[in-house]
Amino acid sequence: MPRDPHASLVYRGALVGSLRRDGHLRSSRVAAALLNVPRETFVPGVPLDEVYRPSEAIVTKRVDGQCISSASAPEVIALMLEQLDARPGDRVLEIGAGTGYNAALLAHIVGARGHVVTVDLDEDLVSGARAHLAEAGYGRVNVIQGDGALGSPAPQAYDRIMLTVASADIAPAWREQLARPHGRLVMPLALRGLQRCVAFAVDAADQDCLVSSSPRNCSFITLRGLLGTDAPPVPLDRDTAWVLSGDDTARPPLAPERITELLSKPLRAAPTGVSTSLDELRHGLHLWLVAQSVDVYALWTADRLPDLFGLAERAGAHGTLCLVDADDESLALLAWADESARAGELCVVCPTGGEAAADRLHALVQQWVTAGRPGDAEAEIRAYPRTADRPTAKDEAAIDRRWTRFILSWRPRVTMI
C-alpha cells in the first residue's frame, strides 16, 4: 500500500495533541521527536489509524504463541522519554531495540552531537531495526546484537540508559556504564508480580545508590538472556485453572495440589472495615502489600474466585491477591464486599482453617491505612548493590534480588485544607 506522507503528519500531530491533553507529554524535545519520526516505518503493513493510537501496543514477534517483542504504546513511550530527560549531545544506551522506533526518537532528541546505542538479543530483530532506522533517516544509531544484561561497554559512560523490557534486577553492567553523578536509568521494574516504570538517578550523597520516586504502572515484555530469570506463573492443577504468580521463586510456598485443595473448600468472608477504589488498589495498596510480605501473590483463574482486579484486557480471567501461609498451610484472598461495584469495602476471604492467613492479610491492610493509605506517587525506591548490605529501617520494606537490594519507603501524603 503506497504511503501518504500528509496523512502520516496529520496522525502524528493528532497523537501529540492527545498525549499533551492526557498529561503523558510535557517537553518540547519529546514532542518534536514524535512529530518528526514516522512510526509506520517501524511497523510496516499496519494501518495508520492503528499505528498512531495512543494506547496501542503492536505485537511484532511471537514464539510458540508467546509475544517476545512489540512496539510499545505511544503514551508509554512518551512517559518513559519524559522520565529519561535526554538532552542534545547525550550518550544513550537502550536495552531492547525492538523495531528501532524508540531508538529513532532518542536519536532525534540527542541530535547529531549525541550518540545512541541499542541492543537486542535476536538477530532478526537487530537486522529489522537497522533497516527501519536507515529508512527513517536515523542510520547513525548503533544497533548491536547481544545480551542486554551486559549493556554495551564503551570508552565513555552513558548519560542515560533506558530499558524497553521489564527486569526484576539492575544488572551490574548498567551501574558500571552509567555516568556519574548525572546519569539516569529508566526501566520497567518487576516487583513481585507487578511492574512499575521508574527513573533512577544517582544519589548525590551515595553514588552507589540509585534513587527513584513516583513509580508509574506499566506492562512490558520481560528481559531475556542472562538476567531473564523471572519464574513463570505456577499452574496449580493439570488444566491450569488456577495460576499463582509472583516473580521471586519458581515454586509456591505450598505444594500446588495443597493450594488447589484449600481453594476448593467453602470460602467465608470477613469485612476489613476499609473502603477504597479500584484505582487506589491498583496504584497504592497492591505495591504496598507485595513489598511488605513475600507471602503475597497474585492468583488467577477462569472463575470460582473473587475478581479484585477487573482487568478488561484479561477477559474471562478472575484475579485477586492471595496471602499463603506455609507454616499454617493456610491462605486468604482479598475481595470486594460488592464485586459488581469494583469499589467500596474490602473483605478477606478464606477457606475453613485459613484463619492464620486471614489475620495476617487483614493486619497488612490495616497497616496500610495506619500509614496514611500511601499510593505509588508517595513511594521512593532506593537501589543498592547487594554487596552494600544496606539494613532496613522500621518504616521501610526490602525486596532482594541477585544483584540489588531495593528499599521501598512511602512519604506521608500531604492533605490540602
Active site residues: 69
Give first-to-last CA distance, the chain, whole Å: 59
Q: Closest by alpha carbon to 158, among 89, 80, 100? A: 89
Kind plus residue range of the DSSP H or E element containing 123:
helix 123-136
Which grid cell is 261? 485443595
CA nearest to 73, candidates 23, 39, 122, 104: 39
AA letter at 78: A
Whether 384 contacts 390, CB under 8 Å: yes
CA 200 to chain centre: 14
Report how far apart, in Å, the C-alpha atoms of 412 and of each of 195, 210, 284, 370, 372 are. Answer: 23, 21, 13, 11, 7
Evaluate the CA torsion angle 298, 304, 307, 311 in order and state its sign: positive
Q: How far is CA 73 from CA 39, 42, 54, 156, 164, in A?
A: 11, 13, 6, 31, 11
